[in-house]
């Protein structure tokens, strides 16, 4: 598991935030040190001594007063300009009329990603070409969520009915993790984000693969029974499998994650567990036991049905 600290930025959009934190931290440490030294000095130098009367009482010291007014003012001006600079660096101006490359929709409790040009739809694992800044339009399907991948830049609220724009960029290939950073209900803690940054050719390849419809329906065996069950249990009302089922939309967004290539994802249920056949089977058997409150109901499948559905979903590479 690699670090996901904002202090190890992996994007030119995140560096200004880390720099600002260091700069302001140094200023604050210097002030703390100065005050501590002065307090200690005064406490020792002017401590009460036996037989001594009150020390001389002074009123007014214009030079000192000017000094302790001007010095903090300079510090504030420095922090203010450094902050403005960091804001410019982390949030570059968006050219007028620029269309978003990617629409990300926060749901209770997962993330939907729609690529504007390619029409790829993904969930929770968001692929980006390394070194290229994508303009993201952030939306919410229900309540307020908050996008935060600390190494890649700023946080941004996903507000229902109010799309927000921000730049998303990873300097080099890698897997960057983040999480929803605004309390949004029971499973807020399991609303993780994975950003997969890859080389341009790898990204194109991924996009192409995502656009391919699901493989032919399995002809026989457990997978075929699972596919039949998928239809019979109306799973397709919430989950799209391209070429097989089209989920209903609420407004512009899906009810549940697109499953066309579910088997190729690293984790499921927004980072709740590793994507293995065992974990998938446990999930299908009782989603509410694994992610209480989530919108996937317990269908009371028999063990055999769970096995068949798992076999089918595992074919969706
Ligand atoms: Cu979504 Cu917290």
Per-residue pLDDT at 2 exceeds 70 = no
* DSSP character at residue 254: E
Q: Report which ligand 1 atom has the smallest distance to the Cα of 158.
A: 1
Please report the pLDDT score of residue 214 as a whole number.
64
What mean pLDDT do residues 117-133 have? Answer: 92
What is the distance in A from the centroid of ligand 1 to the CA of 119? 25
- Class of 102-209 in CATH: mainly beta
Please report the pLDDT score of residue 77 as a whole number.
97
CATH of domain 221-313: 2.60.40.420
Per-residue pLDDT at 1 exceeds 60 = no
Q: Report which ligand 1 atom has the smallest distance to the Cα of 182.
A: 2
What is the distance in A from the centroid of ligand 1 to the CA of 106? 8
More confident residue, 214 or 168: 168
Q: Report which ligand 1 atom has the smallest distance to the Cα of 109.
A: 1
Domain boundaries of the chain, sorted by first residue: 102-209, 221-313
User: Per residue in 218-252, pLDDT tens?
Assistant: 778 888 888 888 888 888 888 888 777 777 666 66
- pTM to 2 decimal places: 0.85
CB 266 within 8 A of CB 249: no
Query: From atom 1 of ligand 1, which residue's Cα is the shortest distance away?
Result: 145
User: Per residue in 8-34, pLDDT tens?
Assistant: 899 999 999 999 999 999 999 999 999
More confident residue, 55 or 143: 143
What are the pocket residues of ligand 1 if the criterion is a CB atom closer than 6 Å to any ligand atom? 106, 109, 145, 180, 182-184, 188, 191
102-209 and 221-313 share one CATH topology?
A: yes
Per-residue pLDDT at 254 exceeds 90 = no
Please report the pLDDT score of residue 252 as a whole number.
64
What is the distance in A from the centroid of ligand 1 to the CA of 27? 34
Helix or strand holding residue 122 (H, E): strand 121-123
Least confident of 75-79, 110-114, 216-220: 216-220
Mean pLDDT of the chain: 90
In terms of DSSP H, where are the helices of 55-180? Answer: 62-90
What mean pLDDT do residues 73-99 have? Answer: 94
Distance, CA of 73 to CA of 93 (rounded, Å): 29
What is the distance in A from the centroid of ligand 1 to the CA of 184? 4
Least confident of 147-161, 198-212, 251-265, 281-295: 251-265
Q: Which of 2-11, 25-34, 53-62 has the highest mean pLDDT?
A: 25-34
Please report the pLDDT score of residue 250 as a whole number.
61
In terms of DSSP H, where are the helices of the chain? Answer: 15-45, 62-90, 200-211, 221-232, 277-285, 287-290, 303-313
Per-residue pLDDT at 123 exceeds 70 = yes
């Amino acid at each position: 598991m690699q670090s996901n600290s904002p202090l190890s930025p992996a994007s030119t959009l995140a560096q200004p935030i880390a720099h600002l934190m260091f700069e302001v931290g140094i200023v604050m440490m210097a002030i703390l040190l100065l005050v501590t030294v002065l307090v200690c000095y005064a406490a020792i130098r002017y401590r009460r001594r036996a037989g001594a009367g009150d020390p001389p009482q002074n009123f007014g010291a214009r030079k000192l007063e000017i000094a302790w007014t001007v010095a903090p003012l300079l510090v504030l001006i420095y922090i203010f300009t450094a902050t403005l600079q960091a804001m410019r660096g982390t949030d570059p101006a968006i050219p007028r009329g620029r269309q978003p490359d990617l629409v990300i929709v926060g749901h209770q409790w997962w993330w939907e990603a729609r690529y504007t040009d390619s029409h790829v739809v993904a969930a929770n694992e968001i692929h980006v070409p390394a070194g290229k800044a994508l303009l993201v339009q952030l939306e919410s399907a229900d309540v307020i969520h908050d996008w935060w991948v600390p190494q890649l830049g700023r946080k941004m609220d996903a507000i229902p009915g109010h799309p927000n724009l921000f730049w998303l960029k990873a300097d080099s290939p890698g897997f960057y993790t983040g999480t929803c950073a605004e309390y949004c209900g029971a499973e807020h803690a399991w609303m993780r984000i994975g950003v997969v940054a890859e080389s341009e050719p790898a990204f194109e390849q991924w996009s192409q693969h995502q656009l391919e419809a699901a493989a032919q329906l399995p002809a026989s065996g457990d997978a075929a029974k699972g596919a039949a069950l998928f239809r019979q249990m109306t799973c397709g009302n919430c989950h799209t499998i391209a070429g097989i089922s089209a989920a209903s939309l609420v407004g512009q967004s899906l009810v549940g994650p697109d499953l066309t290539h579910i088997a190729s994802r690293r984790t499921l249920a927004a980072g709740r567990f590793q994507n293995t056949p065992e974990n998938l089977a446990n999930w299908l058997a009782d989603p509410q036991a694994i992610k209480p409150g989530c919108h996937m109901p317990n269908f009371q499948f028999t063990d055999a049905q769970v096995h068949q559905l798992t076999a089918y979903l595992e074919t969706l590479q």
